[in-house]
Amino acid sequence: MPVIGLGTWKAPKGEVKKAVLAALKQGYRHLDCACDYGNEEEVGAAIKEAMEAGVVTRKDLFVTSKLWNTFHAREHVEVAIQKSLKDLGLDYLDLYLIHFPISMKYVPIEELYPPEWLNPTSKKIEFVDVPVSETWAGMEGVCRKGLARNIGVSNFCAQTLMDLLKYAEIKPAVNQIELHPYLTQDSLVAFCQEKGIVLTAFSPLGASSYIELGMDRGEGVGVLNNPVVQAIAREHSRTPAQVCLRWAVQRGYTAIPKSTHESRLQENLHVFDFTLSAEDMVKISRLNRHLRYNDPGEFCKGMGLPNGYPIYA
């Protein structure tokens, strides 16, 4: 799994194809996608064009997609992966992840795709009683069929993983979680590393991507403008984004920064020719303030429910 991948969450339609194509030309080989991002067809068009132009071959690529919450019933897992494969123009994924440990009422593809958080009929989040064990059996099924070469999870905490590891016949290869200097998740990281579960850091640059969504929790200054990160960047003649990514790499994560700008794509990929000192690493890790931007409960608030939904209650 290439250590730096291209994130495609919020990469808008009409821009994402160009960004993916530019990234592949620059040397990116790891693409992080999901049904929920609503842009897999366009990502697929970029992959096709890059392959036809001889930029990449399928075997050079590492493509991830994710199972949305409405497809958690065992019989829907294959329906969902087949749709992602069709949109991406691939016959297998390198990695398929359960996007959230949250099961929601099934919405047929013909009715609404991607199905999003709110049920199209009730306009509310509709939960269903599908345990992760059932969903995981479906994930193992698509893995055994060769539709996904590896399977894993996203947004899982250590407790949820401990349970999953008790019955999983195929162990989760990856846990993709929010990780950046303001949210270091040390105990979850240690747990995954001890169990041999690869960590992928989403939002590795901190708040930048949440400002546009109004989800930056008043921390609009964000990691990239943090004086400690900026000072370390100056010392190494690098950008704050490169410092964050290098910090992630040295902590043993893979990371998937999203960008639709060619210069930033370039910058984000080039983090392998400098090293942060042990002292730099400690200074950055001490910035931790347990600040989680990507909280499903907050999504619900943002979607017009008066008091948010007590998703963790």
Per-position b or e across 198-223, b if 16+ CB within 10 A of its CB: bbbbbbbbbbbbbeeeebbeebeebb
101: number of Cβ within 10 Å = 20
CB of 268 to ligand A2P, least distance (A): 5
- Reply yes or no on whether 37 is catalytic: yes
Q: Taking CB under 6 A as the rule, does residue 119 contact ligand A2P?
A: no
- Class of residue 91 by CB neighbours under 10 A (exposed 0-12, middle 13-18, buried 19+): exposed
Contact track, ligand A2P, 179-218, x by CB under 6 A: ------------------------x-x--xx---------
> What's the Cα-to-Cα distance from 133 to each of 21, 73, 74, rounded to whole Å?
37, 10, 9
C-beta closer to ligand A2P: residue 20 or 164: 20
CB of 267 to ligand A2P, least distance (A): 5
Q: 95-98 and 151-154 as β-strands: parallel, antiparallel, unpaired?
A: parallel
CB of 29 to ligand A2P, least distance (A): 17
Q: Taking CB under 6 A as the rule, does residue 114 contact ligand A2P?
A: no
Q: Is 30 annotated as a binding residue?
A: no
Q: Which stretch binds ligand A2P (CB under 6 A): 74-82, 108-116, 167-175, 255-263?
A: 255-263
CB of 16 to ligand A2P, least distance (A): 10
Locate all alpha helices (DSSP H) within the chain, ordered by sequence: 16-26, 40-52, 74-88, 132-144, 158-167, 186-195, 208-211, 227-236, 240-250, 262-269, 278-285, 296-302
Q: Taking CB under 6 A as the rule, does residue 39 contact ligand A2P?
A: no
Q: Could you tell me which residues are beta bridge partners of residue 174?
A: 198
CB of 208 to ligand A2P, least distance (A): 3
C-beta closer to ligand A2P: residue 135 or 208: 208
- The single residue among 5, 7, 152, 222 that binds ligand A2P, judged by CB under 6 A, is 7
Query: Which SS3 state, helix, strand or coil, does residue 15 take?
Result: coil
Q: Taking CB under 6 A as the rule, does residue 219 contact ligand A2P?
A: no
Short-list 236, 254, 251, CA closest to 288: 251
Q: Which stretch binds ligand A2P (CB under 6 A): 43-51, 252-260, 274-282, 302-310?
A: 252-260
Rounded CA separation 100/163 (Å): 15
* Total residues binding ligand A2P (CB under 6 A): 17
- The single residue among 268, 269, 271, 287 that binds ligand A2P, judged by CB under 6 A, is 268
Number of H helices, E strands in the chain: 12, 8
Given 28, 37, 182, 253, which residue is catalytic?
Answer: 37
Rounded CA separation 28/264 (Å): 13
> What's the Cα-to-Cα distance from 56 to each of 60, 61, 251, rounded to whole Å?
6, 7, 29
- Supply the residues annotated as catalytic: 37
Residues binding ligand A2P (CB under 6 A): 7, 9, 203, 205, 208-209, 224, 239, 241, 257-261, 264, 267-268
Annotated binding site for substrate: 99
